[in-house]
Amino acid sequence: MTTRRAVVAFVALAACSDPAIPDRAGVYAFADTVIISTDTTVTLFRWPTNRLPVRFWADPRSNMRFLVERSIVVWQDQFLYGELRGIVVSDSAAADVVVQWADSVPPDVPPDTTPAANSCAGVTTFEFDSTGFALSGPVRVSLTVLTGTPVPAGQVQACMRRVAIHELGHSLGLLRHSSFDEDIMFGSPIVDYPSRFDRRTVEVLYHSQPTVQPAPP
């Protein structure tokens, strides 16, 4: 009788059905449109699997390397299935993404955790070749301290942490901004980490067919 129960339990364990695939609602637009000659086409860029790990170069001044390494880890952690890996390289000529300070270099101080102040900004630039279907060089990211009303250095650093993640999100292919301020890819990010919608969006991006290829290594 005991043997029979064990066999029944074993068969029940083996015969369980597949779990349902989760619904991933809330994905926002990540592709862009550009006009190439007279054609309007969708620009969908992501780093292909054969180009992993993505090689980032970080401006050696202040704590840029820390900001880049932290942002890489944050984005890698969004993925379940090894879709993205990134590393920091020491040679900017060998980098896929170059991250620099635009002008002034903020001091490396602990971030201020008081409510966010918009004290920094970033820009990510893609340069296309003549066909428009491939990049002609590395993706360039620049971070800048906003001038105007003086802001404590700690708040600048808190802002840089958010904006570094945001700009590296662009460099990974999230070309558009989210319309919701709960997402790190909102135009002026006020959250510290990617939301579940950022996660779902970048997951979908890294399983989509790109129309733009990176520059040759």
Partner 1 sequence: MMSDGRTAGRAVGGAVLTACLWLTAVPADRLSAQVSFHVAVGARYSSTLVHDSLVTPFDLRPALAPALLLSVRDELRPGWSADATLDVSPSGLRRHEGGGSFDAGSFTALAFTVGLQRHFAAGVSARLGVGGMRYAASQTGVFREGSGGIFPLGSVAATYALPFPYARTNHLEVEARYDVHQFITPALRSEGFTASRPVHRAAILVRVGWGGGTP
* 14 makes contact with partner 1 (CB under 8 A): yes
Among 1, 5, 13, 93, binds partner 1 (CB under 8 A): 13
* Site stretch for partner 1 (CB under 8 A), options 71-79, 110-118, 126-134, 153-161: 71-79
* 127 makes contact with partner 1 (CB under 8 A): no
Query: Of 41 and 208, which CB lies nearer to partner 1 in the complex structure?
Result: 208
**C-alpha separations of 54 from 15, 98, 192, 217 in Å:** 41, 11, 23, 10
Q: Which of residues 153-212 bind partner 1 (CB under 8 A)?
A: 203-204, 206-208
Residue 169's closest CA among 102, 108, 84?
84
* 1 makes contact with partner 1 (CB under 8 A): no
Q: Is the peptide bond before 53 cis (omega within 30 degrees of 0)?
A: yes
Among 39, 81, 130, 150, binds partner 1 (CB under 8 A): 81
* 80 makes contact with partner 1 (CB under 8 A): yes
CB count within 10 Å of CB 106 equals 22
**C-alpha separations of 171 from 55, 143, 193 in Å:** 11, 13, 16
Q: What angle do CA 57, 58, 59 make, to 5 degrees?
A: 125
Among 29, 36, 49, 94, binds partner 1 (CB under 8 A): 49
Q: How far is the CB of 155 from partner 1 (least distance, A)?
A: 30
Cα 120 off chain centre by: 18
Q: In the complex, which residues of this chain contact partner 1 (CB under 8 A)?
A: 3, 6, 9-10, 13-16, 18-24, 49, 76-77, 79-83, 203-204, 206-208
